[in-house]
Structure 1
Amino acid sequence: MKRLILRSLVGLFAIVLVIAVAWTTAPIKVAGVLLKLNNLSAGLTAKSIETEAGTIHYLEGGEGETILLIHGIYARKEHWVEMMRHLVSNYHVIAIDLPGFGNNARLPVGDYALDRQQVHLRSILDALDLAQVHIGANSMGAYVATLLAHQHPERVASIAFIGSPLGVSTPIQSDMDRALAIGHKPLVVRSEPDFAARHDWLTPKMPYVPGPILQSWMADEVSTADHNAQVWAAVHDQSSVPTVLELAPALAMPSLVIWCQPDRIFHVSGARVLGDALPASTRATPENCGHLPMLDQPTQVAEIYVHFLQSAALTTP
């Protein structure tokens, strides 16, 4: 019996040692395994589909009415997983990597202009055979979703701004407004220290992400630093479209604004401005979360969103 226990302990030690070595020497492979396990634990499956904008990678799970989740600039579908695990029991939920982001191939810089991104988003809906969806979107993704909702309102059952959207001028300047005024772009990563420093801009307290996953994402972003700088310019300086605030009065579908305190990217004073401009809006300003509330407070944000969807179902023909 002692010999059997000893063999078991030796075997367990060997497994732990292999994992520890792989954790530091093969982070990309370990990251892939960890992401897959986390997706499965949330009831999600990683898939891909061919569209007019190329191959699109996405996560999918659950049954019921469809929710489409859209990330912001330099972000990815995995940022929604912790929130999605609270939605899949009642809804069919899809989180996409926008064309040119995440696991998708990079695009020519001109395709990142917001009007082009709206066209790409519509092609994704077509490829997935989604006639109408509830959209939850963050930051730049919320701007793209607003353009789609404005041009094709029949495709959008409701729209939720989960985290402050690009395209809303706030009455009070944000920390990023002041940084941009002196030529600093805190969201554009050019080095490993930039990647780490950006966390302080996005969240008051970075949620735990295993080291191999962070290292994998960091390596991918740093390796495309010049491209990412051009993407920023295409989105912010080369997109000739109305602002979200200008489009908001025409969005008749139920809408939700979740704008966190403190959000260093866009000041929370914009929540009231956007909420007042939307014809059928609900507003929430949770505390202790930043620009990415689905990462900071996934359970609370999911509860707010589900309550909104249930209320919208009662008031929408």
Structure 2
Amino acid sequence: MAEANQRDGNNPEIAHSVIANGIRTNYHDTGTGAPVLMIHGSGPGVSAWANWRLTMPELATRFRVIAPDMTGFGYSQRPEGVRYDLDTWVDQAIGLLDALDIEQASVVGNSFGGAIALALAIRHPQRVRRLVLMGSVGVSFPITEGLDAVWGYQPSVENMRALLDIFAYDRKLVNDELAQLRYKASIQPGFQESFSAMFPAPRQNGVEMMASPIDEIRKLEHQTLVVHGRDDKVIPLQNSYDLLQAIPNAQLHVFGKCGHWTQIEHAARFSRLVGDFLAEA
């Protein structure tokens, strides 16, 4: 059973808490209607709230939105000896659905979260209604300089500012205040230790670890929306073309003048696009 709301009035990133496959998991649960599970990306200091803060309120007007911190990120437990891999993250996601008595949900995955969403749909197809993959990992590709910099992040305000410049197409979104906030998020106790353990050099191995077999991707029957920023420096646009070609029931939407932050740089349009897709019968 989920515990009562654990929200810290001073920290919007902390919400509900439940045991998901043995991992104490911090998650957001808002709105009513058909359930939508939203899985965040893998930036340093990221949390479900930081990733989806502009999207959750919009989708929650139409759906029940559930957004967990995956283990190793945010305010979920980091059990001693935990393996940071697809098996662990997929099992945590399924454990969360089980704990909340949700038989089936649509799944929205951002970047790293896209790889988890893809693997979840392959391994547990009956648990997934529709699939949204945004700037997604999940197929093999030569690692970009941008992703290598993200996964190789060492904490400093300057390094965080450099990463924000990589993430966003729109320079107006990047300022010293945001860099300071995200830097502080990245150095909370346990955050950098788990982050640096996930994707050690050579980080191409991390790309392959997060990839699902292409033959399994081709077997997916789910209606799938693939979304990408045309100017993404972290995950290549080619990934989404590859997913479009591989998934039989896929459609692709590419946002121009957009980097890796589709859900932030084009927040209203992204939420409307995803909401309309998930609302289809």
TM-score range, shorter chain: 0.7 to 0.9
Q: Which amino acid aligns with 1:117?
A: W
Which residue in the other structure is 2:124 paired with?
A: 152
* Distance change >3 Å, CA 188–CA 240, structure 1 → 2: closer
- 1:5-154 maps to which residues of 2 (within 5 A)? 33=9, 36=12, 46-74=15-43, 75-78=46-49, 79-108=51-80, 110-154=82-126
Pick closer, same or farther for the CA change 1:90–1:226 going to 2, 3 Å: closer
Letter in 2 for 1:167: G
One-letter amino acid matched to 1:188: G
2:262 aligns with one of 283, 293, 306: 293
Is contact 2:136–2:240 with CA below 8 Å preserved after alignment?
Answer: no
Structure 1 vs Structure 2 CA RMSD: 2.9
- 1:166 Cα shift? 1.2
Q: Deviations over 1:211-264 (max 9, x none)?
A: 4x8645423423543442221139863775753644321110110100111100
Could you say what secondary structure the match of 2:200 adopts?
A: helix
**In 2: Cα distance, 1:290 partner to 1:71 partner:** 16
1:168 aligns with 2:136: no
What letter is aligned with 1:159?
L
Aligned-pair distance for 1:64? 0.7
Compare CA radii of gyration and give the structure with the larger one.
1
Match of 1:203 in 2: 168
SS in 1 for 2:133: strand
Tell me if 1:189 matches 2:158.
Answer: no
Report the equivalent of 1:268.
237
Cα distance between partner residues in 1 of 2:215 and 2:159: 33
SS in structure 1 opposite 2:27?
strand
Structure 2 gap segments, 5+ residues each = 1-7
Instruction: Give the residue type in structure 2 aligned to 1:156.
Output: V
Which deviates further from its counterpart, 262-271 or 108-117?
Answer: 108-117
Tell me the TM-score normalized by structure 1.
Answer: 0.74
State how far apart, in whole Å, the 2-side matches of 1:305 and 1:241 are: 24
Change (3 A) 1:240 1:258: closer
Instruction: Describe the SS at the equivalent of 2:259.
Output: coil
In the alignment, is the contact (CA less than 8 A) between 1:47 and 1:57 conserved in 2? yes
In structure 1, what residue type is equivalent to 2:57?
R
Q: Which runs of 5+ in 1 are unaligned?
A: 1-31, 40-44
Q: Answer whether contact 1:62 1:89 (CA < 8 A) is retained.
A: yes
Q: Residues 205 and 109 from structure 1, CA distance in 2 versus in 1: closer, same or farther, beyond 3 angstroms?
A: farther
Matches within 5 A, 1:189-268: 189-192=153-156, 193-205=158-170, 207=173, 211=177, 215=180, 217-222=182-187, 224-233=191-200, 237=205, 243=212, 245-268=214-237
Q: 1:210–1:199: structure 2 CA closer, same or farther, 3 Å change rule?
A: closer
Name the CA shift for 1:244/1:262 in 2 (closer, same or farther; >3 Å): farther
Q: CA deviation at 1:191?
A: 2.3
Shift of 1:53: 3.6
Instruction: Tell me how far 1:209 sits from its aligned partner.
Output: 8.7
Distance 2:161 2:250 in 1: 35
Aligned-residue offset at 1:72 = 1.5
Closer/same/farther in 2, CA of residues 263 and 200 from structure 1, 3 Å limit: same
Q: What is the count of residue pairs matched by the alignment?
A: 265
Identity %: 23
